[in-house]
A and B are shown apart, each in its own frame.
Chain A
Amino acid sequence: MAELFELFSMPFMQKAFLAGILTGYIASFYGVFVVQRGLSFLGSGLAHAAFGGVALGILLDLEPLYISIPFTILVATGITYVKQKSILGSDTAVGIFFSLSVALGIIFLSLKRTLTTDAFSYLFGSVLSVSNADLVIIGILTILSAATWPLWGRIAYASLDREMAKSEKVPVKKDDYIIAVILSVSIVVSIKLVGIILIASFLVIPAASARMISSTFRQMTLLSVFFGILGAFSGLILSYIADLPAGASIVLFQSGIFLVTMLFRKF
């Protein structure tokens, strides 16, 4: 118990918890659209796009998150544009931009020609790396994401039946861009804590767990947010107590929740 008090009294852990709760909320809230629309690969693709942005930030000696946000949004917009304007499928469009972003990231890091250990903290995430400035960015982006909350019903509706939504003048193509931008933001804000490699799980696992035991989309959204925050919170405690990496601990917890919901559905 004393260990837990100690955990919550440490400033770096307080920042990590705050970042975990906020990012857990954003990612799991929009994750329901990722799961329902089958966009998991887009999540992975955008995480790798974020790597390209982080690497560019490191090369330019600028805050990597500042660079990664516009970079990832640009890639997300490119993927959506190619998907809408060409005969290529969504996974192909993601695959092209995914590879391009990683290739650019590798080139940017190789051009740096000095030690780039910083890049590893972005790849795997770290509780120690969440600064006050990061929290401000995460907070602002959380507020901006929350501002798109009124679009929930419209995007959900188009997720159910895109043709019907189109017939009723729902701007489904514009909403595709909005979703891509929101997912980019969700990914970038979570990078510091979870790391690029595991970030897609933040979008997918809480929402998939919620889907297992929900009969309505509202229920799925609320449960997804609950699981997202619970996973982040519990994962950080596990990370501290067992001295494990934060991102991996959170994903471990999220996966545990998924397993329980699967068993719950089965029995």
Chain B
Amino acid sequence: MNPAVSVKNLSVNFHEHTVLDNISFKLPDRSFTVIVGPNGSGKSTLIRSLLGIIEPEKGEIRIYDRTPSGINPEWMGYVPQTKTLDRNFPGIALELVVSGLRRSWPFFIKQNEKEKAQSALSRVGALHLSNRPLTRLSGGELQRIYLARSIIHNPRIILLDEPMTGIDAAGEADSYRLFDELNKDMTLIMVTHDLETAFHHASHVMVLNKKLIGYGKPEECLTGECLRIAFGHVGHSHPRLKGAADG
């Protein structure tokens, strides 16, 4: 079976600084890959390269055999970091979800658009937030709205950039249940700082620090050596990670 994502010799530089250095990997269809690494390791840059926002200096990216710029936009959902959102923007949750259908902000919402948006909101358990102003959504609620927006086209792949930022433990557990559910039909790629997530939910883990330090199944990839190379130390409390570090 063809991989969902295939990256070959990818390098990205910013102002002569190397951000990603000769990275290659293949992600299977319907896998749940978690990308971990220290700050500045190129995690978000990798996501932005997959989205086609950044043109790499070198290398090749294929998503379901298409280039990022050539892929049908409906195949790909994206949940960005909420810090890029203008929280003072006058809008309601339903409008934000509908904007995922049009790739523009709606002046009027058609009935069929409303139904699709409500169906997506319902799928992520956020239908009750439809008419809530964006200014009054909590971090967790906003992530849920973004997730509804990202699945409105029923995409083949969803990219999630640190979706758990600002979400409490209960909200995190809910979100992971949702991701596991979506993962039955879709490929998920998620950037996170939470190494525990990798053990409990991901099918694959990618450890990044400008270079690809490790990639594979969580128990194969999150080894002490791999984490030491990426982070410089293993400062994590999870017993399995400690075990990996000791081993």
Helix, strand, loop or mixed for chain B's interface? loop
Q: A220 CA to B135 CA in the complex, in Å?
A: 15
Jot down 16 A-B pairs with beta carbons below 8 A, ordered by A.
A153-B106, A153-B107, A160-B86, A160-B91, A160-B96, A162-B84, A163-B80, A163-B84, A166-B53, A214-B90, A215-B133, A216-B92, A216-B95, A217-B89, A218-B107, A219-B90
Residue of A nearest to B94 (CB): A216
Q: A78 CA to B198 CA in the complex, in Å?
A: 48
The reply to whether B91 and A217 form a contact with Cβ atoms under 8 Å apart is yes
The reply to whether B91 and A168 form a contact with Cβ atoms under 8 Å apart is no
* A85: Cβ under 8 A from any B Cβ: no
Q: A153-B104, A167-B53 are in contact. Are A220 and B90 (CB under 8 A)?
A: yes
B-facing residues in A191-220 (Cβ within 8 Å): 211, 214-220
Q: A166 CA to B78 CA in the complex, in Å?
A: 11
Q: What 4 pairs between A and B have smallest CB-CB spacing?
A: A153-B104, A156-B105, A163-B84, A157-B105
Q: A181 CA to B91 CA in the complex, in Å?
A: 26
Q: A117 CA to B92 CA in the complex, in Å?
A: 51
* A159: Cβ under 8 A from any B Cβ: yes
Contacts of B81 in A (CB 8 A): 163
Q: A100 CA to B88 CA in the complex, in Å?
A: 33
> Nearest chain B CB to A168's CB is how many angstroms away?
5
The reply to whether B92 and A161 form a contact with Cβ atoms under 8 Å apart is no
* A154: Cβ under 8 A from any B Cβ: yes
The reply to whether A161 and B103 form a contact with Cβ atoms under 8 Å apart is no
Contacts of B104 in A (CB 8 A): 153-154, 156-157, 170
Q: A159 CA to B108 CA in the complex, in Å?
A: 18
Interface residue count on the B side (C-beta < 8 Å): 28
Q: A154 CA to B96 CA in the complex, in Å?
A: 13
Contacts of B102 in A (CB 8 A): 153
The reply to whether B80 and A169 form a contact with Cβ atoms under 8 Å apart is no
* A164: Cβ under 8 A from any B Cβ: yes
| B interface footprint on A214-244 (CB within 8 Å = 1, 0 otherwise) | 1111111000000000000000000000000
Identify which of B53, B73, B92, B99 contacts A215 (C-beta below 8 A): B92
* B52: Cβ under 8 A from any A Cβ: yes
Contacts of B80 in A (CB 8 A): 161, 163-164, 167
The reply to whether B133 and A160 form a contact with Cβ atoms under 8 Å apart is no
Contacts of B106 in A (CB 8 A): 153, 218
> Nearest chain A CB to B230's CB is how many angstroms away?
25
New contact pairs (11) apart from A157-B104, A217-B89, A218-B108, CB-CB < 8 Å: A36-B86, A154-B104, A160-B96, A161-B80, A162-B84, A163-B53, A164-B78, A164-B80, A169-B69, A211-B90, A216-B95
The reply to whether B73 and A169 form a contact with Cβ atoms under 8 Å apart is yes
